[in-house]
Amino acid sequence: MLSLGIGSSCDETAAAVVRDGREILSSVIASQVDLHRPWGGVVPELASREHLEKIEPIVDEALAEAKVTLRDIDAIAVTQGPGLIGSLLVGVCYAKALAWGLDIPLVGINHIEGHVYSVAFENPQVEYPALALIVSGGHTNIFQIAEEGKYKVVSRTRDDAAGEAFDKVAKMLGLGYPGGPIIEKLALEGDASHVKFPRAKISDGRPDLSFSGLKTAVSRHIKENNIAPLKNGDAPSQVIKDLAASFQKAVVSALVDTLEELATELQPKTLIVAGGVACNLALRDAAEAAAKRLGLPVYFPSKHLSTDNAAMIAAAGYFHLKNGERADPAMTADITLRLQNVDVEPPKGSAKYRL
Ligand code: KG4
Ligand code: ZN
């Protein structure tokens, strides 16, 4: 089955052609990072206008790179949510029109489930039960996946996502946007033991995460030590490099210690670490060390597939299409989609929880 994946949940317009959910024929991404950089974050209105401009050429490019035409495509998978509503709508409307015009099946995919499937390429087949740490700019969750397609959130951030913390700390230090890759680079030359940041304690004892206290601790450290944010062209000082390394270490150990504790308790067969922050080599090294201690395999996406892309959406779509799922003609973008379909009681009077 040849599927066309389409994603436009935030600031990346992406399209990919994937065979049988595991072989990438093409994966094209138009990043809007340069467009949003002057504002230090994504501006939703600008993002949706840019998606509108890019969606058609990006899909055309994905088809051309895969050396196929629309007639060869058997099904379409599109990111339905969560994300920015204006951005999501561009991809969803485009995919619906395309699927309707071609008379082929369409499925709406949860963006976070897409990240789970980003390890479907270049790794052995995932064995279930699996435990997946999904860390991005908008989300930080650990999912217990008892069997393929069955998700239970076993840890979540109570406030900021890990990627968001990287971005905000980078902003405080005048390092630029997005913050994760810049902090990682500076951390390579910094001393991670220089500043000891306390680990957030969750008062109800759940294995949840919290990064807003860490962000405040970094801000306080900057003020107390009179660290001036960089201005354009300044070379970062050793103090900033040490701070970057210490902050990164605090984030990585909170994530990996929690993953390891939950893996010890839940005994999965596979660990998955994915999402934009999974580009970070310190996180990969720590997760690999934990997996070794646990005697488990850990799968990461390649760097290209760690940040938002459409190959992962096509891979997740393949699973749902194989299960016979089809999007209703009334399907639309949904920013409230949550990825949990095990042990969830729908709140009274609300629509049923969906993927
Ligand atoms: O998955 P993604 O592309 O978009 C969302 O769904 O949010 O993740 C983007 C996030 C940003 O916050 C970015 O700073 C972070 O991933 N990120 C990193 C690295 N590369 C990207 N964080 C830490 N280290 C990196 N190397
Ligand atoms: Zn993402």
Reported as a single tens digit per residue, the pLDDT across 268-280 is: 999 999 999 999 9
Whose atoms come closest to the Cα of 274: which ligand?
1
Could you give the maximum distance between any two Cα atoms of the chain, in Å?
63
The closest-lying atom of ligand 1 relative to the alpha carbon of residue 115 is 1
Among 133, 136, 175, 273, residue to substitute to test ligand 1 (most atoms within 8 Å of Cβ):
136
CB distance 216 to 269 below 8 Å:
no
Q: Is residue 110 classed as helix, strand or coil in its secondary structure?
A: strand
Tell me how crowded residue 10 is: count the other CB atoms within 10 A of its CB: 25
Which stretches of 103-197 are DSSP H helices? Answer: 111-117, 162-172, 179-187
Structure tokens at 87: 């951005």
Nearest to 10 by CA among 152, 144, 178, 208: 178
Query: What separation in Å is there between the alpha carbon of 136 and the centre of ligand 2?
Result: 6
Reported as a single tens digit per residue, the pLDDT across 242-251 is: 999 999 999 9
Q: What is the pTM of this model?
A: 0.93
Ligand 1 lining (C-beta closer than 6 Å)? 10, 136-138, 163-164, 166-167, 178-181, 184, 275-277, 279-280, 307-308
Reported as a single tens digit per residue, the pLDDT across 172-207 is: 999 988 899 999 999 999 999 999 998 888 888 899
Query: What separation in Å is there between the alpha carbon of 308 and the centre of ligand 2?
Result: 5
Residue 34 — very low, low, confident or very high, per pLDDT cuts 50/70/90? confident
Reported as a single tens digit per residue, the pLDDT across 104-130 is: 999 999 999 999 999 999 999 999 999
> What pLDDT does residue 354 have?
44
Q: Mean pLDDT across the chain, nearest whole number?
A: 93
> What pLDDT does residue 37 have?
85
Per-residue pLDDT at 307 exceeds 50: yes
pLDDT cut 90: percent of the chain above it: 82
> What pLDDT does residue 41 have?
79
Query: What separation in Å is there between the alpha carbon of 277 and the centre of ligand 1?
Result: 4
Reported as a single tens digit per residue, the pLDDT across 43-77 is: 888 989 989 999 999 999 999 999 999 999 999 99
Reported as a single tens digit per residue, the pLDDT across 314-337 is: 999 999 999 999 999 899 999 999
What type of residue is 279?
C
> What pLDDT does residue 150 have?
96
